[in-house]
Amino acid sequence: MRKKRVKNGILRGVITALAIVLQIGWIVFAAYYLEGRVGLISVVAGVVAVVAALYMFGRNSNSAYKLPWLFLILAFPIFGVILYFATGHSAFSRRRISKYKSEARRMQDKLFSNRGALERSRNFGIQKSILNQYKYVEHHGQYPLYDDSDIDYFPDSAIALESMIEDMNHAKQFIMLEYHAIEVSEAFRRVEEVLARKASEGVEVRIIYDDVGSIGFIDIDFVQRMKKNGIECRVFNPMRPFINGFINNRDHRKITVIDGCIGYTGGFNLADEYFNLVSPYGYWKDSAVRIEGRAVETLSALFIEMWNGIAKSTDDIERFFLPRTRVDCKKSQSEGLVQPYGDSPLDKEYVAENIYINMINAAEDYVWFSTPYLIIDDEMKRALSLAAAKGVDVRIIIPSIPDKKLVYKVTNSYASSLSILDIKIYKYKPGFNHSKLCLTDDKIACCGTVNLDYRSLFLHFENGVLFSQKEAIHKVKNDMEEMFKVSENVSDEYRLNSTRRNRLLDSILRLMAPLL
């Protein structure tokens, strides 16, 4: 069964896309006209292209993203230069970036008013390589470690949704939801019913959704309808009918915060397919975690950072943080560490990728990944290959049924090259695997929104949770072992077919991979 789309949402997307295509068309026409009419302009364009290429090469950004732009600029100088500076360096983008960075610094100052778990954790008997992972996230990612919070893992997003709705039913102060995609359909209507009722009881309810992620699934009256129900709603980075580089930076986070004490995150959005209410790609496999305790403060901070980053005004934040929260949070019942984190495309720290690379490098016995997409840079590929060369059991689970056919072709291209390096590739046979997981040596796990692809690792606002609590780790391992049982190890198939692959097509796909 296919999911339904909202007509006016699709129309808005089509109009916006056509407007942008027309603008690019004018740039192409102008570039062709100028180059063909005046020889001197062609010479100047060539010089400008070289200068622009050198400027881009010197920028502090991922090298894989530079290649498509370098190719475009050097092959089509006038068109490439105009498009690059039109999309990547507008004053609009700079103003937006400055606002988000300012809010991020404010949230970090608030979070680090209660640090100390990292120092205390040295008494937990956790190996140094794992502690160094937490240390990196705290010192460079600027997200604190917590030793007073519980975490529970859900191998099924439908079960996670039921738990989340139950927790929202008991909210007394506030509910905050931030999702890449919201679809006005069965799953969200259940959530909306609870939110509207809690808002009528005086609970403060806020929603953030990404415009591109939700376009086609939310009608134009959505924000007004939420407002009538007492729910405040903000849209991240609305699509606009002009070329703008910031349009590529999407809010891919999935966060629910209830009273500052309970939080949810994972791979699912608030749309029917994530809970198998519709099945456009076979069985939809997804996962999530529930956090209870002070660690939820980080999820609150990520939400407020985005909420204030979107708007011109800045809200008072004290009421969203403990100990001012009037609701008492339950104390942790188990030993272990929990570290929620966020990743932003604006700071060039690449927190999400560095976390994965650190987990790979720390692995002694095994490191397992689950991801819907597999489009990685050379650093990640090198880390995976070195781990496999050391005898570490490196496995990656990808879907057997794609949701995006072109992206799946690129995923297969990367999977083929990794299988040659003794990395085991599994295809999830029941359908589409959307779960984003990493597990190392029964010691540390990561669950969140981060795919193994360029968009998640370098372009999007993302979030996740690192944790070392034994019960949750055990649940993650059991889930991944169950996934392996219903997945096919296609590593040998990839290796046998590697010589027959279309090398030219693979090269073109990989050149464009950072843009997919």
Helix/strand/coil (H/E/C) assignment for every residue in 122-147: HHCCCCHHHHHHHHHHHHCCCCCCEC
Angle between helices 378-389 and 351-362 (to 10 degrees): 10
- CA–CA dist 236, 447 (Å, integer): 23
Question: Over its length of 516 residues, how does the chain's per-residue pLDDT go in tens digits?
Answer: 445 555 445 554 555 555 455 655 655 665 565 555 555 556 666 677 777 777 776 666 667 777 777 777 777 776 677 667 666 544 446 777 788 888 888 888 778 765 677 777 776 677 888 899 999 999 998 999 999 899 999 999 999 999 999 999 999 999 999 999 999 999 999 999 999 999 999 999 999 999 888 887 787 788 899 999 999 999 997 766 555 566 678 899 999 999 999 999 999 999 999 999 999 999 999 999 999 999 999 999 999 999 998 887 677 666 677 554 445 666 666 678 999 999 998 887 899 999 999 999 999 999 999 999 999 999 999 999 999 999 999 999 999 999 888 899 899 989 998 999 999 999 999 999 999 999 999 999 999 999 999 999 988 999 999 999 999 999 999 999 999 999 999 988 877 776 655 666 777 777 766 666
Outline which parts of the chain fall under CATH 3.30.870.10: 93-126+152-332, 351-515
Nearest of 455, 37, 27 to residue 252 by alpha carbon: 455
The conformation of residue 293, written as its DSSP 8-state character, comes to S
CATH number of 93-126+152-332: 3.30.870.10
Angle between helices 7-37 and 77-88 (to 10 degrees): 140
Please provide residue 114's backbone torsions phi and psi, each rounded to the nearest 5 degrees: -135, 55
CB–CB of 146/114 below 8 Å? no
**DSSP one-letter string for 366-424:** EEEEE-S-B---HHHHHHHHHHHHTT-EEEEEEESS-SSHHHHHHHHHHHHHHHTTT-E
> Which homologous superfamily is 351-515 in?
Endonuclease Chain A (3.30.870.10)
Q: Helix, strand or coil for residue 446?
A: strand
